[in-house]
């Protein structure tokens, strides 16, 4: 499990303070009324049960899925030094089982096929799951059970404290996190908003069972909770079920609210910056200005201001800092919470640039906006972007429920967003200047500098250390799947037939392939595309070239410069991005349905006519070099590079990674030639899902892309075969100044066409497909508390991919975690898995897949990649049948053939303490 602001999930995150209040997820995405009537709170019904539980229900019948979320009105805001992190610790403990169900709840959610998770933030702690609709009652039963009956056992608390400390060490690896923590402590010296949401190692180590139990009793009760249910259900019946399941839970007589602080929250600003001189890479500047709480009338104008200052290439701070070469990146966010808020600007300095100078330029740019004002055009554009963002970020039911839960727990009104939208629509240029003058005053800001003290990394590609000893660390008996069945609530028998709608397929004379699936559920369009121009085609001495091309496509064409392109998209709130992967370039775009013609026109223009202006190329090179420095300071990136280079030999297309030298070698002529050679209609696939007419979109695409010419044959690659290592190979690159270690284990795997592919997916689900319910998760993370997150995957593409296990651990726990993982691999390789495990894994995979198709972005990507891999379009719905047909015999054969515990590459990147140990 890992976290985005203490969000329990499978991927590590870097930022505590992103919370759910970042630009993508919260306030800055809020203006819909100009384009469409607000549907955010239409059909929402609020019911308060006799025991005080607030229930918000919203029927959405676009797919047979539902989301169930329980939001508790408690977060790090209710803490104080000494018990900092207790809300987050309790969130972890809520998965440990109840009086009635003494079993890891992650295993129960997984068996239901629920996409479940949890997070802790400043004002709330939330638990959520999205499932097929017939499992709605089962999820309600589990949430009601842990609202009242969770058990905080001493042994489990001890192991979960280790997990939380491992998580915190992961955040500590990030200079950005450490800088933010220091700055926020200075901004809020007398309020819990100045404390890190996840806590500190010193406090977590001291937590006692009685403290955590008291916190649970105080805050986890129906009268301090909001239950949100959104999706495909009937309100009347569901409310009866909720009353039956939750109505019997008693209100709690709570003692004083722990740690609630004085409202006098802000400190006076510091005249000198906070300076962190620590190991790291890349200089960082962070500026924080105190703001009012979410209910204050200035908040809408502040969000419009933020968009004008930092959203996109036309924004004021991008122009002042990035275009000038002073910075490689500038990001900002308005955070509006229950008791106050803040505006945070984070700048990554350009190479060899001085932070004092950047700080001075930042202040000048803001002062300039205050003095000269903003234009009506800028305000209108910012409001349009907000309008589109709110619609585009609320297309799936999980996000819709998140917004309702956030609004109800932060400001006490689920209709907050609608009020806010109305207020944003009235913001004028004078309002933006007024809030800059009121809040972004020089004397109000707190500034932090991160100055790295040393070059970070020992040379990537250290000679492998092949010494090996085995620890006697038996994984013990796995939790039996029969236990899971015993504690699983009953599931309604109603079938969940997914409507078997298939995309329409078109192929143009130039070879371009197009897949279209109309979906009228929201007035939006999601675009996904693939061009066969990935990093596999990078020349060895110019690694990074493929990404260089994709990243610069939007920098100008024959008819438009980069600012014009950015402006055309921003004026409609549309987005278009290109991301380079091993086997291709992925195109991601979305817009309101009305603006699809503009989105397609820009896409066609940049893939056909991009000109790669020299000034923009050089600016991009400097940004990429800065990004590379930062990447090589991240244990996960260092571990990944060395892992891949230890598996694939030098002549293999996957062995090469960008370096400072290779990026400096790339010339404009290389970029133009690569684009001409690899960007071709006959290797391009586009998929669109959304509110459109088939014939109109087809003719639009024919008009925009029909004259894209093809010459000669498309370039192809043949990957050389790669043999497994002969023994366990261990490599331990050391990164000074890091608190947490990241380990990658694995070897070359299978491709998408391998007859064992579906059996391998089932095998992987059992082995490490889920951080809480898999064999690896249950043992290494849950029972032993050795890892914050551990999971495995078969990464299968057109060519043979990689089998890998990734985990994050405290450095002192790495050896044990690796030994335990090898034991589990050995156990499954030799003894296989059980029939019950196979059936549970199949149910989980099928349910997860069905839930994923209810999300337009995931649906569009699935349609796209099926076509890229040359699969039938029926695969969209036959995939679940193929999983269903997998047998125990096939899974155990896959275990024998695909798991190789004694022929595995193990790379652990992290603190120097690892160098003193022999990692096995």
Q: Report the candidate in 17, 915, 907 with the shortest Cα–Cα distance to residue 464.
A: 907
Beta bridge pairs of residue 806: 744, 791
Contact residues for 272 (Cβ-Cβ < 8 A; gap 6+): none
Tell me: the pLDDT tens digits for 317-336?
A: 999 999 999 999 999 999 99
Helices then strands, each counted (H, E), the chain: 31, 23
Sheet with 54-59, strands from edge to edge, namely 7-8, 115-120, 125-132, 65-72, 225-231, 54-59, 44-48
Q: What is the pLDDT of residue 254?
A: 53
Longest dimension (CA), the chain: 77
CA 480 – CA 482 distance, rounded (Å) = 5
Q: What is the pLDDT of residue 271?
A: 73
DSSP secondary structure string for all residues of 863-882: HHHHHHTT--TTHHHHHHHH
Evaluated on CA atoms 586, 591, 593, 598, the torsion sign reads negative
Q: How far is CA 765 from CA 67, 487, 489, 562, 831, in A?
A: 22, 20, 22, 44, 17
Tell me: the pLDDT tens digits for 480-533?
A: 667 788 899 988 876 555 567 899 999 999 999 999 999 988 899 999 999 999
Q: Report the candidate in 220, 231, 191 with the shortest Cα–Cα distance to residue 81.
A: 191
DSSP secondary structure string for all residues of 46-61: EEE-TTS-EEEEEE--
- Which residue positions in the chain have pLDDT lower than 50? 1-38, 256-264, 456-477, 914-920
Task: Tell the residue number behind the tokens 């955040």, with chain if given.
Answer: 171
Q: What is the pLDDT of residue 267?
A: 55
Q: What is the pLDDT of residue 265?
A: 54
Phi, psi (degrees; rounded to nearest 5) at 890: -65, -40
Q: What is the pLDDT of residue 13?
A: 29
Q: Count Cβ atoms within 10 A of the Cβ of residue 7 and give its class: 0-12 exposed, 13-18 middle, 19 or more buried.
A: buried
CA 698 – CA 529 distance, rounded (Å) = 15
CA 242 – CA 274 distance, rounded (Å) = 51
Q: What is the pLDDT of residue 433?
A: 98
- Is the pTM higher than 0.85? The answer reads yes
């Amino acid at each position: 499990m890992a976290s985005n602001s203490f969000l329990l999930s499978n991927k590590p995150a870097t930022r505590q303070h992103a919370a759910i209040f970042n630009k993508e997820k919260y306030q800055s995405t809020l203006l819909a009324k100009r384009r469409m009537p607000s549907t955010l709170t239409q059909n929402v019904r609020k019911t308060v049960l006799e025991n005080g539980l607030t229930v918000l229900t919203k029927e959405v019948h676009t797919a047979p899925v539902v989301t169930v979320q329980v939001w508790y009105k408690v977060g790090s805001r209710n803490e104080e030094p000494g018990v900092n992190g207790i809300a987050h610790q309790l969130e972890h403990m809520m998965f440990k089982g109840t009086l009635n169900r003494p079993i890891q709840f992650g295993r129960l959610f997984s068996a239901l096929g629920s996409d479940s998770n949890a997070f802790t933030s400043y004002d709330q702690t939330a638990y959520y799951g999205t499932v097929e609709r017939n499992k709605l009652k089962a999820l309600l039963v589990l949430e009601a059970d842990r609202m009242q009956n969770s058990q905080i056992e001493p042994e489990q608390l001890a192991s979960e404290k280790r997990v939380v400390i491992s998580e915190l060490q992961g955040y500590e690896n990030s200079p950005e996190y450490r800088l933010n923590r220091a700055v926020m402590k200075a901004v809020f010296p007398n309020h819990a908003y100045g404390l890190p949401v996840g806590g500190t190692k010193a406090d977590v180590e001291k937590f006692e069972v009685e403290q955590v139990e008291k916190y649970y009793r105080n805050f986890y009760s129906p009268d301090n909770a909001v239950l949100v249910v959104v999706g495909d259900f009937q309100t009347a019946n569901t409310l009866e079920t909720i009353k039956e399941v939750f109505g019997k839970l008693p209100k709690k007589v709570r003692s004083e609210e722990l740690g609630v602080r004085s409202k006098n929250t802000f400190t006076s600003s510091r005249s000198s910056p906070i300076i962190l001189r620590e190991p790291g890479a890349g200089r960082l500047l962070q500026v924080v200005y105190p703001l009012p709480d979410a209910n204050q009338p200035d908040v809408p104008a502040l969000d419009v201001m933020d968009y004008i200052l930092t959203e996109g290439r036309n924004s004021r701070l991008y122009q002042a800092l990035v275009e000038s070469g002073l910075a490689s990146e500038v990001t900002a966010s308005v955070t509006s919470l229950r008791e106050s808020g803040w505006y945070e600007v984070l700048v990554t300095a350009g190479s060899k640039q001085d932070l004092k100078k950047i700080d001075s330029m930042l202040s000048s740019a803001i002062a300039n906006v205050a003095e000269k004002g903003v234009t009506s055009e800028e305000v209108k554009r910012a409001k349009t972007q907000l309008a589109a963002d709110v619609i585009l970020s609320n297309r799936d039911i999980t996000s819709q429920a998140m917004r309702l839960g956030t609004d109800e727990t932060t400001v006490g009104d689920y209709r907050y967003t609608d009020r806010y939208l109305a207020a944003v629509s009235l913001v004028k240029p004078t309002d933006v200047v007024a809030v800059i003058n009121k809040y972004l005053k020089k004397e109000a800001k707190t500034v932090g500098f991160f100055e790295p003290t040393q070059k970070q990394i020992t040379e990537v590609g250290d000679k492998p250390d092949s010494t090996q000893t085995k620890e006697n660390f038996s994984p013990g008996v796995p939790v039996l799947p029969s236990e899971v069945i015993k504690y699983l609530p009953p599931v309604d028998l109603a079938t969940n037939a997914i409507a078997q709608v298939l995309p329409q397929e078109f192929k143009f004379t130039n070879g371009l392939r197009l897949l279209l699936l109309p979906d009228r559920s929201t007035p939006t369009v999601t675009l996904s595309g693939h061009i066969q121009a990935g990093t596999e085609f990078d020349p060895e001495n110019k690694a990074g070239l493929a990404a260089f091309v994709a990243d610069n496509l939007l920098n100008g064409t024959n008819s438009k410069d980069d600012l014009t392109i950015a402006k055309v998209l921003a004026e409609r709130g549309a987005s278009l991005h290109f991301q380079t992967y091993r086997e291709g370039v992925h195109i991601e775009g979305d817009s309101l349905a009305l603006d699809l013609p503009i989105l397609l026109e820009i896409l066609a223009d940049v893939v056909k006519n991009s000109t790669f202006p020299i000034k923009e190329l050089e600016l991009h090179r400097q940004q990429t070099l800065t990004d590379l420095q930062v990447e090589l300071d991240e244990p996960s990136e260092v571990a990944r590079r060395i892992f891949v280079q230890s598996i694939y030999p030098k002549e293999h297309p996957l062995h090469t990674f960008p370096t400072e030298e290779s990026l400096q070698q790339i010339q404009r002529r290389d970029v133009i030639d690569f684009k001409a050679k690899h960007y071709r209609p006959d290797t391009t696939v586009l998929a669109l899902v959304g509110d459109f007419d088939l014939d109109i979109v087809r003719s639009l695409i024919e008009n925009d892309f029909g004259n894209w010419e093809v010459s000669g044959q498309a370039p192809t690659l043949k990957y050389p075969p790669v043999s497994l290592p002969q023994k366990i190979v261990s490599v331990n690159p050391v990164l000074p100044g890091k608190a947490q270690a990241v380990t990658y284990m694995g070897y070359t795997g299978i491709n998408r066409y391998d007859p064992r592919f579906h059996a391998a997916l089932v095998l992987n689900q059992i082995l490490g497909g889920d951080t809480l319910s898999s064999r690896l998760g249950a043992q290494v993370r849950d029972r032993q508390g050795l890892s914050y997150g551990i999971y495995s995957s078969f990464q299968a593409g057109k060519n043979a991919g990689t089998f890998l296990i990734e985990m994050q651990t405290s450095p002192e726990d790495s050896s044990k975690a690796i030994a335990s993982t090898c034991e589990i691999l050995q156990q499954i390789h030799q003894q296989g898995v059980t029939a019950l495990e196979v059936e549970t894994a199949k149910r989980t995979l099928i349910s997860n897949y069905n839930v994923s198709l209810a999300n337009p972005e995931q649906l569009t990507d699935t349609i796209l990649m099926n076509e890229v891999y040359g699969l039938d379009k029926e695969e969209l719905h036959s995939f679940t049948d193929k999983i269903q047909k997998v047998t125990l015999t096939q899974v155990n054969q896959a275990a024998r053939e695909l798991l190789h515990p004694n022929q595995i590459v193990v790379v652990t990147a992290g603190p120097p303490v690892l160098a003193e140990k022999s990692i096995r």
